[in-house]
Amino acid sequence: MPNYRFDDTPRRVEDYAAMAQYHQTSPESPFPNKRLITQAHPGGRRVTLTDKELKVTEGRRKQVTELNQEQTFEEMLLQHFGLSWPPTP
């Protein structure tokens, strides 16, 4: 059984409203319950940061760094994404 099914049926943004609401608010959804940021780069490189780890994927190679007291989410957010948390006014 396939995980995904695609067809060429036209869709409207409103068709996705219920699932977007679920992902933003449900206790079962991972998105409101942890910090997550990911960025795709040219050439297939992707950098993903969560509360617990930094993952850099290049092709089939993945480098995972678990965050600890020395490497905090805030430091990695600034170093790899150029963002600060909490945001500075």
Does residue 3 sit within a domain?
no
Query: What is the structure's pLDDT at 3?
Result: 75
**Residue range(s) defining the domain that contains residue 72:** 14-81
Does residue 35 sit within a domain?
yes
* The model scores a pTM over 0.85: no
Q: What is the mean pLDDT of residues 43-65?
A: 93
Query: What is the structure's pLDDT at 34?
Result: 84
Opening angle at CA 33, ends 29 and 36, nearest 5: 95
- How do residues 20-37 score in pLDDT, each as one tens digit? 999 999 998 888 888 889
Distance CA 39, CA 47 (A): 5
Does residue 60 sit within a domain?
yes
Does residue 68 sit within a domain?
yes
Does residue 63 sit within a domain?
yes
Q: Give the number of domains in the chain.
A: 1
> What burial class does residue 49 get, using C-beta atoms within 10 Å of its C-beta: 0-12 exposed, 13-18 middle, 19+ buried?
buried
Task: Please report, for the domain that includes residue 28, its CATH number.
Answer: 3.30.2140.10
Neighbours of 17 (CB within 10 A): 10
